[in-house]
Structure formats: C-alpha cells, structure tokens
Structure 1
C-alpha cells in the first residue's frame, strides 16, 4: 500500500505547556513555530510509519517577555546551543475507542528520553476546500529535570518557584498530502 503523507495545519493547531509557579498557580506557554509530519498507509493512523514533531524554542511565548528571555537562557533551554525540541514517535497504540498512547523519544537540550503521551483521535473530515484533515488532542507530562532543565529558586517560606512536572497539551489538525 502507498504511503500517505500528512503535514500540520498550523492555523488550526496549537502546542502548549503548563507549569506550576510558586506551587499555587499555573503558567501557560506555547510555541508559535512548530512542525509535525506523519506518514501512514491508511487514514486511521493505526499503522503510523512516522510521526515527527519539532518546535522552535526561539518561538516560545508565555505572554511575558522577561520570562520568555529567561526560558531561552542557559538556565533553561539554552537556545544558543539547543534551539529545537524534537519528538520522534516509535509506536501508536490503541487503548480503546478513539484513545491512543503515542510512544517515542523526546529530545530537549540534546538529552533524549522515552516519553508516552495520551492521544484522542478526533477523526477525519474533508473541509470545505476539499482537504482531508485528521484531528488529535494530545495530553502528557514530563519531568523537566530529566532534560537538564534544573534551574529553580526557593521562596522565603521554602516553596519552589517552578514545579518539576510540565504538562503538555496540543490540539492538532493534519492535512493529507496528495
């Protein structure tokens, strides 16, 4: 069977992360520039041959320029040396109905670790312009320290400023290529 290629529809997709700040509130950020490419042999993604996600760390945004600059610094992502985050999927496992687990290798700061995220497959539709699109919601969490993102500070009361756990959330539309 022929390979079907899919590319991300960036106008209808977003990639976010959430982290606890002072352990009392959550800060949300996103990447403005990212890419997803997939290759399958059918429209149901049950046999995904390739799923690769990349994010340009320079495009990180938390709606606060000072915080974004700190995230780009050597304290966190160190964009001068490591300007890309990459996830290379290894397998896509159905766990019931439209729920899947996506297993793969995540690379941040040249440190690669296995990661599994939950995926809800929203289905496939043909849009008003004749494009076949597939929709997905992705949820997961990682330990930032596993990827060398270890900067932190302690408040007067002894609480940490930034939690170790990072929640990952993405809503993605892929466009089938002819």
Structure 2
C-alpha cells in the first residue's frame, strides 16, 4: 500500500489576514489586524485532516487603525512587544466535522503564556492560480479570553463602564500554497 507524501503548504500573506475583534465600552467593536505573520500547514498528500499547523505573528505589526491605541497594545499593559515580539500557534489535533468544516485544537502562546484553544475552520476549496501555484483557502474563527494570556490591562469609565472586554473574537482568512 502506497503512503501519501508529506506536503508543506506555506501561508500566502498577500492573500491572508489575521483579524481580532474586541468590545470597546461594551457598546461598539474595535477591529484589529496583525500585518506581519507566517505559517505552514503540513499534510499527508492533500488531506487537511492530517494537518500539522504552525503559525506566528509579529506583535509589533498590530494595527487597529489608530496609532495611539496600537502603541498601547504593544506596551507592557498588553502584548509587551519589546519582551515578547511574537505570538504563536501550534496545532495539536485537526478533526473533520463536516464536508468542508474542521475543528482545530492547538496551543496559543501570547507573551509567556501558552493555553489550549479551539478554532473552527471552513475549507473554501483549492485551485491552481494563473502562475501554476496550487492554493487552498480557509476561514477560521475562535474566541479567547485576553486575561488568560496576561493581557490584563483594565480600566473603567467614570460611569463605571468597562473600557475593554475580556473576550476577543478571532477571524482568520488564510490562503496556503504548496510547492510546485
């Protein structure tokens, strides 16, 4: 019986985005991005259920469309980018849950804290692009509690309202490419 060959897919940063959303003042949502990141997905052949995922993002690339807030996020109150320049994710298990859906379990490390997280993934399909590169696309979602990762800055307004919620929603659109 022939075994499938190992394939290492690389994240295509020009066709991917790493996004997070957090409630501000409990009345609106602030959206942020990590602009610099890299990752790989290792599969047996093209079977994503066997995937081993490695991912990291440069926390100095955080972008919420407001430089003052971004500087605060890079500070020791949040990511402490000078001391901990990257966040990372390593999968521990991938399970196919439907025709085009997966549950991804893995370890997320932010600062010096590593915790298990669960992501839901929807497979968008695969295709060969104009240049002959084989690509596959996924949309991933999940939620973490920022305080569990040492992002514990807290403030309240004069009226007693919370400035930043604890729950952070993750929305990741990723396109991966396998070597030709």
TM-score of the two chains, using structure 1 as the length reference: 0.97
Q: 1:36: how far off? A: 1.3
Specify every segment of 5 or more residues in structure 2 that has no aligned partner in the other structure, as ranges.
none
Helix, strand or coil at the partner of 2:154: coil
- Alignment of 1:68 onto 2:70: yes
In structure 2, the partner of 1:43 is 46
In structure 2, the partner of 1:137 is 139
For residues 101 and 42 of structure 1, what CA distance do their matches in structure 2 show?
A: 19
In structure 1, the partner of 2:90 is 88
For residues 45 and 137 of structure 2, what CA distance do their matches in structure 1 show?
A: 15
Of 17, 22, 28, the residue aligned with 2:25 is: 22
- Alignment of 1:10 onto 2:13: yes
Specify every segment of 5 or more residues in structure 1 that has no aligned partner in the other structure, as ranges.
none
For residues 90 and 12 of structure 2, what CA distance do their matches in structure 1 show?
A: 19
Q: 1:152: how far off? A: 1.2
For residues 118 and 96 of structure 2, what CA distance do their matches in structure 1 show?
A: 13
Instruction: Tell me if the contact between 1:56 and 1:84 (Cα under 8 Å) persists in the aligned partners.
Output: yes
The CA deviation string for residues 6-57 of structure 1, in whole angstroms up to 9 with x for no partner, is: 0011111000000000000000000110011111112131211x21110000
For residues 99 and 159 of structure 2, what CA distance do their matches in structure 1 show?
A: 46
**May I ask how many residue pairs the two structures share in their alignment?**
177
Instruction: Tell me if the contact between 1:90 and 1:105 (Cα under 8 Å) persists in the aligned partners.
Output: yes
Instruction: Tell me if the contact between 1:43 and 1:124 (Cα under 8 Å) persists in the aligned partners.
Output: no
- Alignment of 1:34 onto 2:54: no
Q: 1:144: how far off? A: 0.2
Post-superposition, which runs of at least 4 consecutive aligned residues in structure 1 deviate over 2 A? Answer: none
In structure 2, the partner of 1:118 is 120
In structure 2, the partner of 1:104 is 106
